[in-house]
């Protein structure tokens, strides 16, 4: 019995994750296009220019937040027996490999600023947060959680069947 998740090639590429987020949430970037169009058709009064610059600063802050959310990513999640190996991508490279004990791991979806976040907990402590960037959607997160808990249940039943050795 084994649970095996490895991220796709697109998900392992940092810019690929960012572009998938932009493609899935294109409506967030409509305001960018409108502001760029306004910059192309000046002249403006000083007050109108200040408003456009303030909007640009707000959009830059939003883009920095999206880039930071995309920086760390769940690269692999392999459960074999009672041991779980979690590989975390930082940028486009595997930087962290965490090994945990199956009974200690819990996975849940929490919401931060009305955005779903897949949270992996070990003994109640957060060890990783996966945001909805790249291939991750709320449906993919729910499917991942269901498969994890099915695996955990199978392991518990196998342990009962096998006996306490």
Assess whether pLDDT exceeds 60 at residue 51. Answer: yes
- H or E element in which residue 106 lies: strand 105-112
Q: DSSP 3-state assignment of 72?
A: strand
The Cα–Cα gap between 136 and 125 comes to 22
- Tens of pLDDT, residue by residue over 69-100, are 888 999 999 999 889 999 999 988 888 888 99
Distance CA 59, CA 104 (A): 40
Stated pTM of the model: 0.77
- Summarize pLDDT for 11-27 with one digit per residue, the tens: 788 888 888 888 888 88
Task: Give residue 70's region: left, alpha or beta (phi > 0; psi -120 to 50).
Answer: alpha
Q: What pLDDT is stored for residue 1 in this prediction?
A: 61
- Decide if 70 contacts 77 (C-beta within 8 A): no
Binned at pLDDT 50, 70 and 90, residue 122 comes out as very high
Average pLDDT of the residues of the chain: 87
Cα distances from 11 to residues 30, 78, 132, in angstroms, run: 24, 17, 12
């Amino acid at each position: 019995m084994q649970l095996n998740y490895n991220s796709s090639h697109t998900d392992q590429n940092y810019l690929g994750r960012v572009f998938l987020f932009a493609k899935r949430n294109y409506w967030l970037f409509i305001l960018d296009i409108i502001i760029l169009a306004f910059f192309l058709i000046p002249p403006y009064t000083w007050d109108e220019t200040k408003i456009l610059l303030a909007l640009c600063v707000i959009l830059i802050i939003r883009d920095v937040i999206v880039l930071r959310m995309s920086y760390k990513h769940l690269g692999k999640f392999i459960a074999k027996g009672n041991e779980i190996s979690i590989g975390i991508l930082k940028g486009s490279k595997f930087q962290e490999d965490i090994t945990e004990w199956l009974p200690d791991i819990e996975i849940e979806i929490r919401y931060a600023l009305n955005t779903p976040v897949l949270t992996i907990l070990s003994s109640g402590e957060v060890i990783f947060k996966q945001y909805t960037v790249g291939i991750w959607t709320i449906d993919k997160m729910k499917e991942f959680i269901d498969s994890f808990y099915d695996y955990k249940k199978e392991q518990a039943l196998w342990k009962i069947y096998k006996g306490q050795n």
